[in-house]
Amino acid sequence: MFTKAERIISLRNLRPKKKEGFLKIISIFSFLGIMLGVTILIIVMSVMNGFKTDLTKKILGLNPHVVIQPNSFQISEDFITKLTQEFETISLSKSYFGEGIILSKNNAKGVILKGVDKSEKKIIKFFKNYISSGNFKNFDTNKVLIGSEMAFNLNLKVGDTLNLMSSAFVSTPLGSLPKQENFKVVGIFNTGFLEFDQNVVFLTVADALSIFNKGEEDINIEIYLKDPLDANKYKNKIQKINQNYFIYTWSDLNKSLFSALKVERNVMFIILSLIIIVAAFNIISGLTILIKNKTKEIAILKTLGLSNRSIKKTFFLTGLTIGSLATISGIFFGIIFSLNIEKLRVFLSNIFNLEIFPSDIYFLEKLPSEINIDSIALIFVISILISAIASYLPAMKISKMSTFRALRYE
């Protein structure tokens, strides 16, 4: 692609003479600008990928992957049997949830009451990972599990009794009143997800049906998959088996959240790519000045028989070399920083005595980072492409240069 002569001339252009010190400064700034742009882009993309993965894991830990609701049609045992036969790897459990109010120690709060199957493996695993006080083994009829934020706000602890009021009404001599039942707190969980920890109360399916005045025909079926990302595929397959039921997935519930994350990630990518574009302007200005200073040498090379195309390629290679080396260096430093971003966060927090990315706001116990090969490859290609365009534009001016005029005035 490039001849030996073109490579030698390009290499000499990268080492300007002492009187061309200004060109050296421009080349250094071009190199540093592209390198920093690529480094920052990789770090930000890695953190955003890590944040998305960490958030997804937490959401998947809190929610079933697929939910089937009766939708005025009772979920029959035949349907459940057909599901277990057709999809042998899935795990099924029964549940019911609704909105209610918690009353305790002169405090009241609107909450989500969720009845779960305490024998389901995924439920057991969830509370084994997140329960911070109490014991899941004590979870039974008239017993509840609450989040750490709710326990703190309502001044509750394991062993306390609370009153739950549902949206269902019961007839009394005084008229219709919301149904209420007393429960004992046997466990407190802490997921690190603020909204979840302060708004959800877990009770058994039987208790949930009782407090909402519902029967077996109102029970939902929750499905847990080996790969949660296949949830939509299973949703479509289950829908074909029986279209009477309402089926939704964990991604349907959090579609707006992940759409916002995707948009934010794309916008950040575009904005940070502008850093590379701005740095590439230094390549354009540097090559333009270099070509202007090398007018005599270019004319001599043309006189010796070197074609316009070859001369353009030498200057193009000069700019592309700066861009390529800067891109490779930026990728190297970007990966190094991404792998050690949490250590850097802790270091800066200790030095400046401030909390970076507080967990109660960002739902993060530590700053996550996930290096994605596809993202790095895309950043590499874009950076090289920008450098190539920035190198090509000034090199094109050489074809308009008059050899006779250049030698005459030199």
**3-state helix/strand/coil string of 221-261:** EEEECCCHHHHHHHHHHHHHHCCCCEEEEHHHHCHHHHHHH
Q: Express each pLDDT in 98-107 by its tens digit.
A: 889 998 878 8
pTM of the model: 0.68
More confident residue, 380 or 10: 380
Tokens of 192: 């690190």
Residue 120 CA, chain-centre distance (Å), reads 29
- Report which DSSP code applies to 398: G
Q: Which helix (H) or strand (E) holds 378?
A: helix 373-395
Arithmetic mean of pLDDT, 145-164: 90
pLDDT at 15: 67
Q: Which helix (H) or strand (E) holds 60?
A: helix 21-62
pLDDT at 353: 77
DSSP letters spanning 104-165: ETTEEEEEEEEEE-TT-HHHHHHHHHHEEEE-GGG--TTEEEEEHHHHHHTT--TT-EEEEE
Residue 187 pLDDT grade (very low, low, confident, very high; cuts 50, 70, 90): very high
Residue 248, C-beta contacts closer than 8 angstroms, at least 6 positions apart: 66, 67, 69, 235
- How far apart are alpha carbons 62 and 57 in whole angstroms? 9
Arithmetic mean of pLDDT, 359-369: 67
CB 166 within 8 A of CB 211: yes
Arithmetic mean of pLDDT, 353-364: 64
How close are the terminal C-alpha atoms of the chain, in Å? Answer: 32
Residue 186 pLDDT grade (very low, low, confident, very high; cuts 50, 70, 90): very high
pLDDT at position 222 over 60: yes
pLDDT at position 409 over 50: no
pLDDT at 143: 92
CB 75 within 8 A of CB 96: no
Tokens of 223: 């499905």
Instruction: With both helix axes pointing from N to C terminus, report the angle between 308-339 and 341-352 in degrees, rounded to the nearest 10.
Output: 70
Tally Cβ neighbours within 10 Å of residue 293: 16
Q: How far is CA 133 from CA 120, 136, 138, in A?
A: 21, 9, 12
Residue 362 pLDDT grade (very low, low, confident, very high; cuts 50, 70, 90): low
Largest Cα–Cα distance in the chain? 113
pLDDT at 271: 82
DSSP letters spanning 310-369: HHHHHHHHHHHHHHHHHHHHHHHHHHHHHHTHHHHHHHHHHHHT--SS-HHHH--SS---
- How far apart are alpha carbons 208 and 95 in whole angstroms? 8
pLDDT at position 145 over 90: yes
Residue 108 pLDDT grade (very low, low, confident, very high; cuts 50, 70, 90): confident
pLDDT at 91: 83
pLDDT at 203: 92
pLDDT at position 238 over 50: yes
Q: Express each pLDDT in 6-61 by its tens digit.
A: 667 666 666 666 555 556 777 778 888 888 889 988 988 888 888 877 777 777 76
- Output phi, psi for 76, to 5 deg: -80, 160
What is the torsional sign of CA 132, 136, 137, 141? Answer: positive
Mean pLDDT estimate for the chain: 81
DSSP letters spanning 154-216: TT--TT-EEEEEEEEEEEETTEEEEEEEEEEEEEEE--S-HHHHTTEEEEEHHHHHHHTT--G
Arithmetic mean of pLDDT, 180-205: 87
Among 66-75, 89-98, 143-152, 283-292, the minimum mean pLDDT is found in: 283-292
- How far apart are alpha carbons 241 and 223 in whole angstroms? 15
